[in-house]
Amino acid sequence: MSDLDKIFGKIGPMVMDTDTNIQNAEYEIREWFGVIYKKIDEKEKLIKEFLNDLDPECDHELIEKWEKRLIE
């Protein structure tokens, strides 16, 4: 076995591991952003519900309820 074969024999698995690590990191990042987008969508829905419930004669209990839900 030549020196080049020895070098490439060691580099090959490292490159494959690096590719796998990159793919795993990319998957985790996409999953993380998915969670963030889901939370944003949930907050947007809450805000829309809030705006639908809001009227000029809105009582303070309803306002407090929405403040708590929007802060969560």
Give the start-to-end residue ranges of the domains of the chain. Answer: 3-71
The predicted structure's pLDDT at residue 2? 66
56 or 40, which is more confident? 40
pLDDT category, 5, cuts 50, 70, 90? low
- The count of other CB atoms within 10 Å of the CB of residue 36 is 10
pLDDT digits (tens, 9 = 90+) for 15-52: 556 667 777 788 888 888 888 888 888 888 888 787 77
Over 70: is that where the pLDDT of 7 sits? no
Which token pair is 63? Answer: 């306002």
